[in-house]
Amino acid sequence: MLRGKLGPEPLRLYAKPVLAELSYEKLAKDPFQTPQEAQVWFRLGDQLKSAFVPLSIVDEESRTVRAAFLGERDGKIFVSFPPTNFGQTRFFSSESNLMMIARSS
């Protein structure tokens, strides 16, 4: 057999990214990280998901961070944040989980 098992259906990108603000549960500014970066945690259903993000996209007063919804695969939304020294955080989540923490921007 020359072909392997196919993975999930291809990612379908939106014509234009959807920008949103996501409410986070916890924010950590580690002294070993660069001062322009932070780690945030989101409650997505029964999971706690973390992301390294630039501080410039964090609003500590409203406890939100800006994100871009880039597309969908297998009924889940592709969420992305700007890159940091730790790389770029991206993940998939269901629309219902995101609606619990998202504010349209």
pLDDT digits 0-9 by tens, 58-98? 999 999 999 999 999 999 999 999 999 888 999 999 999 99
Q: What is the pLDDT of residue 95?
A: 95
| CA dihedral (36, 27, 81, 99) positive or negative | negative
E-only strand ranges, 24-99 = 26-28, 37-44, 47-54, 58-59, 64-73, 76-80, 90-94
Q: What is the pLDDT of residue 3?
A: 75
Q: Would the pLDDT of 1 be above 60? A: no
Question: Could you tell me the pTM of the whole model?
Answer: 0.85
Task: Report residue 33's pLDDT band, with 50, 70 and 90 as the boundaries.
Answer: low
Task: State percent of the chain over pLDDT 70.
Answer: 94
**Which residue type, as a one-letter code, is found at position 49?**
K
Count of C-beta atoms within a 10 Å radius of residue 10: 10
Q: What is the pLDDT of residue 44?
A: 94
Q: Would the pLDDT of 12 be above 60? A: yes
Q: What is the pLDDT of residue 35?
A: 79
Q: What is the pLDDT of residue 75?
A: 92
